[in-house]
Structure 1
């Protein structure tokens, strides 16, 4: 019996060694084909911009094609569902956003769980939103927006990049904090929302600085405030919402890279290491910083902890706002 136990233990040790060796070989060989990064929004929006910058640099480092695949719809949920069901082999990844943490509480019947069904690789970017309006909008600052909304309850519309996006809940949190009623006009992404705000179809929009600031600089949009607790280095002349009449108001937008749950640890480790190189690349950092985003590499564990904290933070914000999407 003793010899049998020893034999079993030795066999188990050999098996574990073989599995570890296989995992290392797999990681060294990965990737042997094109890698697809799913963006759950239309082309041209902030998440798409981030994904394309990352994809180009990651492809150069890996020596493989990295494809950006836009799968918009349902507030980012269609693309997320597709990746959650994809083979966990490292060849299909998701650029998740603040919305995917929000959606856990906002939508009643999701076909995925952002914590259970994904293996985080790294955060990509973090940054504040900016409250922009069409240039002809009469309010020149946050205090005047609040006064206008109080004078015309429910008549002041705001655009968002979709139900459940940070651009949606940022406005809901603003309305709740200010004690006003605003009317939500959702779009299928930031780009079409911006188009209508620029055209004056909808007067205002809490958008990422990455996509909005070029239009602010060209005079096609007016920037009233940023949502961070302190002013953004990318636009130091724009005041914060908190200093403009709503103390304590704070919203950050983020993007993160996720793989399907069950992706081999060795592959996740390699992706994590490569993403660290991507996000520490000076050219990549400069591209994001110029538009108000900071490159934000985190380890897989740190990323998982961050997503968990965001899910809880936005659960409370959704409950407070009363927002719900079927």
Structure 2
């Protein structure tokens, strides 16, 4: 039996070890990074998040002074990856792609999302892409008005694919259907990388995708409309508003970390991504890919999430999808 005095003595080394560990944690944050960083994407390869990460990889490694490994953890429209992120070590060595509205809508509308928006910490949002309505090149539909006409003639029969459930593509489809007074069927995929083959293979009638796919797919598709206030430079595609449909939305992309990651590490990462966003070659590549450059640091990212949350709650309440 250990007597009370002996127990106290026995605890001294453990307490000292715990204090030492805390000190090491501070040193770890000050020295960060000291090893390779895993940049995880919660979607299939080949989509906008993957394209972005590949463009960032070399300048990130230069800024960090460490290697950057890009890996994938697709599933449930990104929810699987973000759920796993909440259980990762809060040391800044696992950085995950982070998308709005996905990280807002999934916990808002799904009981099984596996995470809450507040459980992941945004570091930086560096680009955005407007939604774009695409059909195969051999489709009889030439305009967004043609699509609306076909949908009204066949209520519920038209299928629209997209990247993820409760994502920018999903909510863009809901917005469009609402303002156009049509009923369509939305089919979610694990990412753009798997949604595009479904469109080209004739498994869905249309795709609510993103503007970069207009450039990527070229003459394989016809872009009927893009969800912007004004036409995008370099894209000869009308806006939904040009056709009389007030649909303006898309996805914001950035990176996030586990919620308990030290602020010092978060701020270091944010500075790195801000510097990468000034890389001339990357900026040109973003433009060539029809990405919009964004610069939201940690605090601005939180404000962006809060603002978009209010907008989505208003829309979903109007559609009767939100019981609050």
Structure 1 residue aligned with 2:106: 103
Structure 2 residue aligned with 1:242: 241
CA drift of 1:106 comes to 2.3
Structure 2 residue aligned with 1:15: none
Distance across 1 between alignment mates of 2:208 and 2:141:
15
Distance across 2 between alignment mates of 1:323 and 1:233:
35
Within 5 Å, which residues of 2 pair with 1:60-75?
Answer: 60-75=62-77
Structure 2 residue aligned with 1:192: 194
CA drift of 1:224 comes to 0.9
Structure 2 residue 115 is matched with structure 1 residue 112: yes
Where does structure 2 lack aligned partners over 5 or more consecutive residues?
A: 1-22
CA drift of 1:51 comes to 2.0
RMSD: 2.2
Q: Which residue of the other structure, out of 158, 178, 192, is the alignment partner of 1:156? A: 158
CA drift of 1:253 comes to 1.4
2:38–2:71 CA contact under 8 A, matched in 1: yes
Distance across 2 between alignment mates of 1:83 and 1:69:
13
Task: Identify which range, 308-317 or 250-259, moves more after superposition.
Answer: 308-317
Distance across 2 between alignment mates of 1:156 and 1:46:
25
Q: Which residue of the other structure, out of 83, 86, 99, is the alignment partner of 2:85? A: 83
CA drift of 1:201 comes to 2.4
1:40–1:71 CA contact under 8 A, matched in 2: yes
2:98–2:122 CA contact under 8 A, matched in 1: no
1:182-205 deviation line (CA, Å, top 9, x unaligned)? 012222211121112122221211
Distance across 2 between alignment mates of 1:282 and 1:322:
45
Structure 2 residue aligned with 1:317: 315
CA drift of 1:308 comes to 1.7
Report the 3-state secondary structure (helix = DSSP H, G, I; strand = E; otherwise coil) of the residue aligned with 1:296. strand
Distance across 2 between alignment mates of 1:288 and 1:42:
20
TM-score by length of 1: 0.87
Q: Which residue of the other structure, out of 271, 278, 281, is the alignment partner of 2:279? A: 281
1:150-196 deviation line (CA, Å, top 9, x unaligned)? 11111111111121121111111110111110012222211121112
1:102–1:318 CA contact under 8 A, matched in 2: no
1:38–1:83 CA contact under 8 A, matched in 2: no
Structure 2 residue aligned with 1:301: 299
1:213–1:291 CA contact under 8 A, matched in 2: yes
Structure 2 residue 220 is matched with structure 1 residue 220: yes
Cα gap change, 1:221 to 1:154, in 2 (>3 Å): same
Aligned length: 302
2:121–2:257 CA contact under 8 A, matched in 1: yes
Structure 2 residue aligned with 1:147: 149
CA drift of 1:312 comes to 2.3
CA drift of 1:305 comes to 0.8
Cα gap change, 1:321 to 1:137, in 2 (>3 Å): farther
CA drift of 1:23 comes to 7.8
TM-score by length of 2: 0.87
Runs of 4 or more above 6 Å deviation? 21-24
CA drift of 1:25 comes to 4.8
CA drift of 1:321 comes to 3.5
Distance across 1 between alignment mates of 2:309 and 2:234:
28
